[in-house]
Structures are given as structure tokens and as C-alpha cells.
Amino acid sequence: STTKMVLGAVCATALTLGMANAEAITLRGASMFDEDHTFTKTFRKFEELVQENYDGEVIFDLRLNSELGVEKDYVTFLQQGVAIDYTIIAPSNMAIMAPSIPLMDMPFLFRDLEHWDAVLSSKTLTSLEDELMEKADIKIIGYTGGGVRNLVANKPIKNMEDLAGHKMRVMGAPIQAQVFAAFNASPAAIAYNEVYNAIQTGVISGLENEAAGVENLKFYEVAPYISQTAHTITVRPIVMSGKTFRKLPEDLQAAVLKAGADAATFGRELESTQDGIILKKMADAGQINLIEFEDRDQLLELVVPVQDAYAAELGATELLEAIRAT
């Protein structure tokens, strides 16, 4: 039935774009979450700003709750120019199309929120954007994110000893598995919508995620221990299919770019301030137990050679150095 829905969506997208100028243009978005998640709020802001910046009429058809699949499906849709026109995707979920894009998303890349914000507000990541455009025909129109990823497990993980052999889900980019393997955990790439069941049935013991995802998808029901490794500050590009973007009238293209940048700023502010609040809310409600991770210094040491080797393999050593030097 997902196939049917997607096929329907393909036709609708093609039709409405073909009628640009004559009538309202429909843009279809997709999200894995419900109306309360920060991504959805960012999409709603994007819709409002496009409409504000553009004279014609645009209809936004945002499909929530994974109706159109998960991020790794969205990448294929965007690349092919079918089913969806815009969304937000974790760079590590785009590895299959552009191997260097997960560099902006790798654990321990940013020292703190200030460093993260400085990099995202600069032009440092332009070469990665160009590669994504060239290899996947996906256009980054803004950077949101700002959640802090921790270990989310069905048991407390306090130190390196607890982490050894810990079976955990990571996103499907090789760098993610490499990093957690270097920490001596046992990482496996599993689709996001299979994680809850995989924990429940004991296939894995946890994942790593930011507060917004844990809350929205109720991962705390099967993995209530949050070990505060704070290993990633998320970078979440708002993206549009290049095939969609090129079909839009010029004034709408300009409105989309402006709205993308401004909605991203809104989303970053929202998620970075909400992250700690959501964690506290879940802890106060007895949904999660916050665990201090004692050996974060060791993670920081172990990750550097893995980051260096990945960047070297991609010919992106200079870029990594530029990010570190920001």
C-alpha cells in the first residue's frame, strides 16, 4: 500500500508542477514525526515564509508520521524527483548517494553549540553541498538541527566497560559504524522505523538519538536509559529535489531559498533550546533515567583517528581541519 501511495504521490507531483504559473503549485513534504516534533514546526515555518515571500499561491502537502517512509527512502525519492519535493534529512542517511556528506554529521565534530553555530553560519560546508547536488541532485536550502545525541539503551551504560560489545543501532553511514566500533561497541545499521521492534525483541539493546526523536517515537518505552555521551550536535539540512527546484518559477525559487534559510535559523534556535527541556520533561515524568557517562574523555580521544582516516579517504582533510579551526 506504501507503493500505491507513493505512485499516487508521484503523479500528483508531476501534474501540479506541470501547471506552474497557471494555478497554485503544490509542494509535497515528508516527515517521520507528528505535528509536535521540531522538524514539523520548522516545516510549518518554512511554509509560512514561502507564502510570505511569494506572490503566487503554493499548496503545501506535508505528509507526517512516516506515511511516505523514512529518511533513507526520502533520499531516493528526492534524487529521482518523485513522491516528495522537500524534507529534512540527517546527512548520515544520505551516505548512499554522496559518501562525503556524513562528514558534517559525524560524532564529536563540534566542540559545543557555539562552534556548531559558527560552522553552520559560514560557507565552510559548501563543497559538501556541491557534491550532494552533483551526485544526488539534492539541494540544501538551510541547516536546522541542534539536538544533542546520547546513547539510548535498555540498560545503564556508565563507562567504557558497559559500552564494550553493546549492540546498538547506528544510521546507515559507514563513518557512524566506524566510530562506535572504535568505542568497542557493537554497532549495526538498522532502518529507523525498525529500531523500536529490534530493541523490544532483543536484536539490539539500544540506539543513539537526540531528545526530540526519543520523545516523539517513544523509544523510552523500550530503552529508558539515556547515557549522556553528548557525542553529536545534530546538523539537519532542509533539502529540496533539484528536479523540483528547477521547475519552479524564478520568483518562487528565490522565495524558497530565503524561506529555507530563515526556517532553518528558526529550527536551530528551537531545537537547541528544547533539547534539554525535553530530556528534563521525560526524566520528571519517569519515562527516562539520565545516566552520567564517566569516560567521555576516552571517546574524544578514540574518535580523532577515525575522523582523520575518513576525511583522508574522501580527500577532505583540509575541510575537516577548517571545521576544527572554526
The site for ligand X1X (CB under 6 A) is made up of 71, 90, 93, 171, 192, 209-210, 213, 234, 236
Tell me how far, at minimum, the Cβ of 37 lies from ligand X1X, in Å. 8
Using left for φ > 0, alpha for ψ between -120 and 50, and beta otherwise, residue 145 falls in left
Parallel/antiparallel/unpaired status of strands 225-241 and 86-88: antiparallel
Shortest CB 4 distance to ligand X1X, Å:
25
Q: Which is nearer to ligand X1X, 157 or 238 (CB)?
A: 238
| Beta carbon of residue 38, minimum distance to ligand X1X (angstroms, whole number) | 10
Using CA atoms in the order 249, 251, 254, 258, what is the torsion angle rounded to 10 degrees?
-120
Nearer to ligand X1X, 17 or 89 (CB): 89
In the complex with ligand X1X, the residue whose CB is nearer, 143 or 192, is 192
Residue closer to ligand X1X, measured from CB, 12 or 67: 67
**291, 220 contact by CB (below 8 A):** no
The DSSP result for 42-64, as a single string, is HHHHHHHHHHHH-SS-EEEEEE-
Give the shortest CB-160-to-ligand X1X separation in angstroms.
Answer: 23
- Smallest distance from ligand X1X to CB 322, Å: 24
- Using DSSP's 3-state secondary structure scheme, residue 7 falls into helix
CA distances from residue 85 to 35, 37, 256, 265 in whole angstroms, order as listed: 19, 20, 12, 21
Across the chain, which distance is largest between two alpha carbons, in Å?
Answer: 64
The nearest distance, CB 71 to ligand X1X, in angstroms, is 6
The type of residue at 45 is K
Q: Are 205 and 227 in contact (CB under 8 A)?
A: no
Q: Which is nearer to ligand X1X, 171 or 314 (CB)?
A: 171
Smaller CB separation from ligand X1X, 16 or 234: 234
